[in-house]
Amino acid sequence: MQNKVIIITGASSGIGLACAREFAKRGAKLTLAARSADKLDEIKSELQSKGSDVITVKTDVSIEEDCKNMVDETIKHFGKIDILFNNAGISMRATFKDVDLKVIKQIMDVNFWGTVYSTKYALPYILEQKGSVVGVSSIAGYVGLPGRTGYSSSKFAIHGFLEALRVENLKAGLHVLIAAPGFTASNVRKVALTANGSSQGNTPRKEDKMMKAEDVAVHMANAIIKRKSTLVLTFLEGKFTVFLKKFAPALLRKLTFYHMAKEPNSPFK
CA distance 158 to 178: 9
- Cα 140 vs. chain centroid, distance in angstroms? 12
Contact 24, 48 (CB under 8 A): no
CB burial of 174-190 (b: ≥16 within 10 Å; e: otherwise) equals bbbbbbbbbbbbbbbbe
Listing from the earlier edge strand, what are the strands of the sheet with 230-232?
54-58, 29-34, 5-9, 83-86, 132-136, 175-180, 230-232
Strand partners, 148: 94
- Judge residue 74's burial from the number of C-beta atoms within 10 Å of its C-beta, 0-12 exposed, 13-18 middle, 19 or more buried: buried
Residues designated catalytic: 151
Q: Which amino acid is present at 154? A: S
CA distance 142 to 244: 10
CA distance 17 to 31: 12
- Judge residue 210's burial from the number of C-beta atoms within 10 Å of its C-beta, 0-12 exposed, 13-18 middle, 19 or more buried: buried
CB contact set of 171 (below 8 Å; sequence gap of 6+): none
